[in-house]
Amino acid sequence: MPSPDLGQRLLAWYDLHARTLPWRVGPAQRAAGRLPDPYRVWLSEVMLQQTTVAAAKGYFERFTHRWPTVQALAAAPEAEVMAEWAGLGYYARARNLIACARVVADEFGGQFPRTGDELVKLPGIGPYTAAAIAAIAFDRPETVVDGNVERVMARLHAVEEPLPAAKRRLAGLAARLTPTERPGDHAQALMDLGATVCTPKSPSCGACPWAGDCAAHKKGLANVLPRRAPRAARPTRHGIAYIARRADGAWLVERRPSRGLLGGMLGWPCSEWGEAPAPAPPLQADWADPGAQVRHTFTHFHLHLSLRVARLDEDARPERGFFMPAAEFDPASLPSVMRKAHALAAPLLKGF
């Protein structure tokens, strides 16, 4: 049975070792009375869904520089927000980000609700994100359980049941530790412990404030827990991307439907993505096959995207998509898979 002062030891460790993050009010600042900005907490938590801290930092800095308040983000044109989000992936998050900002600005007077129960009703905020915002921004005693916390709990209690079946049990174990004093710092401390000490591979048990209580450490299981049920293999889908430039240098691009994969993002006109998709060029043209292929992995499948390139006359009339002048075209505003395709095709379409 772990000792009752686990929480105290975790906070003492956090006071010394908290990560410095651009969205964080650290323990010393917090003790001095500085409060976190709920907008920054919310924005960081949405960015961190499916994205590493290292990858999210730059995006966070750019977003908060450009849109320093939720009202500013709510007033931003959707296409500009989507372009700034490009490369972070999971584009439904960006659409929900805009929708949420607008609800908070219009219906809540720019003030985020303070409890997990209220927050979870906002677009793009699931139970995890709601608990994280309530704990971190408003210091409410909510239990925040991400992959880091699951790992730490599985090890601390030597839970052998594999994930995902063990999720509920691990959340229950985390809930038992959630304090009423400094719950926001506790939530962040647990995340930091998982990210920097109780890491997925080779945890640094010698530096861990819980080593004396940790069942996995005592049993020599720290490196093998948590166990995971085998994942179903990702299928591979195939597709064709049509990349064309007009004689004046404009690129033929398409905005993807707002719902579905890469929804609302700019991209190249494509065939269906499937086992053996039929060609679907956006117009009749002299399409060349350069033998180039982009490989990209989405959550549920691998994509092998073959390229076709064409040079078009000034009077070309595509059935799909629209021409974007070269001066307005920025590859950085494309989602990663489309950016990779551009990088391969651009040298072939030089000279306009």
Instruction: Give CA separation, 301 vs 52, 232, 261, in Å.
Output: 20, 11, 12
From the list 89-97, 215-223, 237-245, 261-269, the region that binds ligand SF4 by CB under 6 A is: 215-223
13 is a site residue for ligand SF4 (CB under 6 A)? no
Tell me the number of residues near ligand SF4 by CB under 6 A.
14
User: Residue 351: how many CB atoms within 10 A of its CB?
Assistant: 7
Of 25 and 216, CB closest to ligand SF4: 216
Of the candidate spans 56-64, 114-122, 149-157, 302-310, the one that interacts with ligand SF4 by CB under 6 A turns out to be: 149-157
Task: Write the CA distances from 208 to 200, 205, 292, integer angstroms.
Answer: 14, 5, 49
The residue within the footprint of ligand SF4, chosen from 48, 104, 149, 152 (CB under 6 A), is 152
**Under the criterion CB under 6 A, does residue 155 sit at the interface with ligand SF4?**
yes
197 vs 324, beta carbon nearer ligand SF4: 197
Of 132 and 214, nearer to ligand SF4 (C-beta) is 214
Question: What are residue 238's DSSP bridge partners?
Answer: 274, 304
Binding region for ligand SF4 (CB under 6 A) out of 42-50, 53-61, 151-159, 344-352: 151-159
- Least distance to ligand SF4 from the beta carbon of 190, Å? 10
> Which parts of 173-212 interact with ligand SF4 (CB under 6 A)?
197-198, 203, 205, 208, 210-211
Query: Is 328 one of the catalytic residues?
Result: no
Rounded-to-integer distance, Cα 191 and Cα 198, Å: 10
CA–CA dist 149, 146 (Å, integer)? 5
Region of 70 on the Ramachandran plot (φ > 0 left; ψ -120 to 50 alpha; else beta): alpha
Query: Is residue 132 involved in binding ligand SF4 (CB under 6 A)?
Result: no
To the nearest 10 degrees (0 to 180), the angle between helices 147-156 and 183-196 is 80
**Three-class DSSP labels, 76-101:** CCHHHHHHHHCCCCCCHHHHHHHHHH
- Kindly calculate the radius of gyration of the chain based on its CA atoms and give it in whole angstroms: 24
Task: Enumerate binding residues for ligand SF4 (CB under 6 A).
Answer: 152, 155-156, 197-198, 203, 205, 208, 210-211, 214, 216-217, 222
